[in-house]
Structure 1
Amino acid sequence: MKFGDLKKEGHWPTLFAAFLYFDFSFMMWTMLGPLATEINESLTSRGFTMNDDQMATLLAVPVLAGAILRLVLGIFVDKFGPKKTALVSQVIVIATLFYGYLAAESITYDQLLFVALGLGFAGASFAVALPQAGQWYPPRLQGTVLGIAGAGNIGVVIDFLFAPKIAEIWGWPSVFLVGGVLSFIVLIAYMFMAKDAPSSVYKANPKKLGDYMKLMRDRDTWWFNLFYAVSFGGFIGFANYMKVYLMNTYQADMSAFGLNVMDESNVKVIAGYFGALCIFAGALLRPVGGAVADKMGGIKSLYVFYGSIVILALISAFVTLPFWAAIVVMFLIMANLGMANGSVFQLVPQRFGKDIGVMTGLIGMAGGLGGTALIKTFGWSQGAFDGYAAGFVIFAVMTMIALSGISLVKTRWRTTWGAVSGARI
């Protein structure tokens, strides 16, 4: 398939608009992660310091809200159309960003939680952008189209690259201002470029609450929820908590890496850069995981990826690593999590091909819930034990449970739906 085919069929302005919408939404969704330490310092200067649990809660709220709102916006897409749903959602996110900027000088922790809740609408963009792009194109182009629209995951990398530097130069509230202005520009571009597919191109098949309830009674739904809660939950959880983890653990070790960083604000920027490097691995390698699963089967590939994650997480828990080695380990953890995401979604369409829309919403929500649990677990670990060993151990145990689940279902899957799927599982 050539990319020129996308111009001959479908509606490329909508595809581009969906990509922009998802990319910038993902940036806004994860904005608090690279700003967490700066925000906490601002609160401290006014007499309130977030403890580890409060910090984790602040970072977890957008992830949790985004997970739940994916189902809500998915239903709205069916009822009102993706464009109207996207426009309303974007307006809420933009209003939240400007509120965060205007209230920053005297903002309280409760107000920050309100901002975090509003940013959850950005995380739910997945349930809008992908269907809108996919509705315009025939089945043979769906993989490419959804891959382009879904490449917005790279937005979290952009956050970690630029947000700490903007905060260093102009102060952390300016990141909300820049985000709000850019999101408004994207809103205008989206308004003129994006169109809902006409009935001659796409025949709507609205999802009902009963459709979700029916699939929730299928045991395989729960297995896929577990697998994606570990892989995507691990990715988005670590992505949001990455800077806090690096600052709490390795701030004093930066000079040992040869950076000779004296200014604390520079340390935050450097932590953002290394965090972006690790997150980039997970975002970039997701399609690679899908390709590996196509070649060797989704089950075998998940054995490899999950097994690697268990080993790497236990190394992080029990081995005192210098800064450079910790970055290597986190890079590999994120890479394997990203590839595991691709592997899970190599299996899902084979098992639930007729219900892929509903399953995407359910599994996406499970991934967000997994990310919320990881962030809260790591916040608890730091607060209770002044370190992250317990958090890594718990994550390793959850990954081992997922591995055990694969062992329990693999024979049944391969001898039932897998035998007629026409692909390696």
Structure 2
Amino acid sequence: MSRLTRNRDIEQPRRSRDIEHPRRSRDIEHWDAEDVAAWDAGGDKVAKRNLIWSIVAEHVGFSVWSIWSVMVLFMPQDVYGVDAAGKFYLVAVPTLVGAFMRIPYTVAPAKFGGRNWTIVSALLLLIPTVLALWAMTTPGTTYTTFMVVAAFAGFGGGNFASSMTNINAFYPQRLKGWALGLNAGGGNIGVPVIQLVGLLVIATVGNTAAELVCAIYLVLIGVAALGAALFMDNLQNQRSNLGALVEALRYKHSWVMSFLYIGTFGSFIGFSFAFGQVLQINFLAGGDTPAQAALHAASISFIGPLLGSISRPFGGKLADRIGGGKITLYTFVAMIFAAGILVVTGMIDDGMTGAVTNSQMTGYVVGFIVLFVLSGIGNGSTYKMIPSIFEAKAADKDGWTPDDKATWSRSMSGALIGFAGAVGALGGVFINVALRLSYVGSAKSATNAFWVFLAFYVICAVVTWFVFQRMQSVRAVSEEPVGRAPAPVAAG
């Protein structure tokens, strides 16, 4: 055995002990995911454990964030006095608040520790859940009160930013697409899961027992907080602060990525909140009673967010292998055609004088579900691009040590992940506002909103092509070599 081999054999157990000890203290003093020896000696297990409970906490956060997309199905207009247009605003408010909450949530893991903040952010979800239970069971609750209560659900939207920033620090560049895709996809599944819970309640009890949905999530919030306390860790060398965010926003690619995320994540969260409402409106137009429309809408609406959530990790996986820029471009092109299905279906619907037909309902469902799947793929590919951009920029920092480059890259990408998530969430607000304005307009349908969506996807596709495909000078920071992982910034 050579001297080098013996030294390596001695070094790895020492690294393993350094990694395993924080399982008791819950504080890891130094974490370098790009150190291959430390990763193979146990770092991968630590990262996986934190990823699992990060997904659980983020999953519950997304469910609470989208709780009002379910509550509105329990709100017949003749009982609560809220019409369809009012419900679109009701589900848009949590989206808006959640978008702004993502900025402070981005820096929270580095400030307080990833484990500590996951516990706190999970417990904060008790506030909107208890308020929703109170509002839905208190007779005479005003629309203004509903809007204020719904705003507190924005706490759940902030969870995504802190979770993604934290997991970004745990994984090496070569695995970030898959890890971030799993984390985000597992969180996103919280949307269809709470819609499934709502469906089960409506199917078994009827559309008058919204408090059961809230009660179930009070229990799940406790599980998420307890799991984070027992199994997650704080990274003491994690750096992500407002100063890093300001520095990250000096780069034009940061603004481009934030804009593109409006088209991917904004579509996912906006359609997730609005899909059930659109279906319910069409079922009512088809002659259903409010209870029947709620049941039929709930039985379909969860499918889109579920498939969109599942497709997200695969978008990250494809971006790891083929390149984030290419996958994002192909996704937007496909979304143009999917939005075209909605436009054509809407134009046929507008020309009808009677009830909505089965073929028109099929067109709406197919168009939306395809958009959900594509938005999930785009979510994974765009988030893969963010750490890749700063990884490449760090490589150009002359005179920096590998550790300095790795720390700077993690700090910049962590900050931008939260900011892009905040900007992207605003897309969900725009979708619900566009649908609301379209329904109250002279056409009394969603067709005008569908045209707006289609036009926006055209713009996103052009921007992606121009910035990350056409311009050779930036291709290196938007694409990874086909078929292999990029070399890590820090020495292995």
Equivalent of 2:361 in 323, 328, 338:
323
Equivalent of 2:453 in 395, 398, 410:
395
In structure 2, relative to structure 1, the CA distance for the partners of 1:231 and 1:134 (3 Å cut) is closer
Cα separation, 1, equivalents of 2:174 and 2:476: 21
Cα separation, 2, equivalents of 1:145 and 1:307: 26
Aligned pairs for 1:11-410 (under 5 A) are: 13-39=49-75, 41=76, 44-45=78-79, 48-50=81-83, 52=85, 54-104=86-136, 105-106=138-139, 107-136=141-170, 142-150=176-184, 151-167=186-202, 169=205, 171-197=209-235, 199=236, 203-208=237-242, 210-253=243-286, 264-319=290-345, 320=348, 321-353=359-391, 354=409, 355-384=412-441, 385-410=443-468
1:302-322 CA-partner distances (Å, limit 9, x unpaired): 332212211221231233352
1:353-388 CA-partner distances (Å, limit 9, x unpaired): 322111101111111011111111111111113100
Cα separation, 1, equivalents of 2:239 and 2:319: 30
Length-normalised TM-score, structure 2: 0.75
1:276-313 CA-partner distances (Å, limit 9, x unpaired): 11222211112222333445443333332212211221
Q: Which amino acid aligns with 1:35?
A: M
Identity across the alignment (%): 21
Cα separation, 1, equivalents of 2:300 and 2:189: 15
Q: What SS does the aligned partner of 1:9 have?
A: helix
C-alpha displacement of 1:5: 8.5
2:240, 2:415 within 8 Å by CA — same for their partners in 1? no
Cα separation, 1, equivalents of 2:323 and 2:118: 35
1:69-121 CA-partner distances (Å, limit 9, x unpaired): 11111222222223333333223221221122133223322222222221111
C-alpha displacement of 1:220: 1.8
2:116, 2:229 within 8 Å by CA — same for their partners in 1? no
1:165, 1:269 within 8 Å by CA — same for their partners in 2? no
Q: Which amino acid aligns with 2:238?
A: A
Q: How many residues align?
A: 408
Cα separation, 2, equivalents of 1:195 and 1:333: 36
Q: What SS does the aligned partner of 1:416 have?
A: helix
Q: What SS does the aligned partner of 2:46 have?
A: coil
1:87, 1:187 within 8 Å by CA — same for their partners in 2? yes
| Residue in 2 that maps onto 1:259 | none
In structure 2, relative to structure 1, the CA distance for the partners of 1:6 and 1:128 (3 Å cut) is farther
Cα separation, 1, equivalents of 2:54 and 2:233: 10
In structure 2, relative to structure 1, the CA distance for the partners of 1:414 and 1:6 (3 Å cut) is farther
Length-normalised TM-score, structure 1: 0.86
In structure 2, relative to structure 1, the CA distance for the partners of 1:142 and 1:397 (3 Å cut) is closer
Q: What SS does the aligned partner of 2:153 have?
A: helix
C-alpha displacement of 1:51: 5.1
Over alpha carbons, which structure has the higher Rg? 2
Cα separation, 1, equivalents of 2:327 and 2:173: 25
Gaps of 5+ in 2: 1-35, 349-358, 392-408, 484-492
C-alpha displacement of 1:268: 1.8
Alignment root-mean-square deviation, CA: 2.9
Q: What SS does the aligned partner of 2:234 have?
A: coil
| Residue in 1 that maps onto 2:399 | none
Cα separation, 1, equivalents of 2:477 and 2:132: 53
1:22, 1:129 within 8 Å by CA — same for their partners in 2? yes
In structure 2, relative to structure 1, the CA distance for the partners of 1:132 and 1:216 (3 Å cut) is closer
2:308, 2:374 within 8 Å by CA — same for their partners in 1? yes
Gaps of 5+ in 1: 255-261
Q: Which amino acid aligns with 1:190?
A: A
Q: Which amino acid aligns with 2:305?
A: I
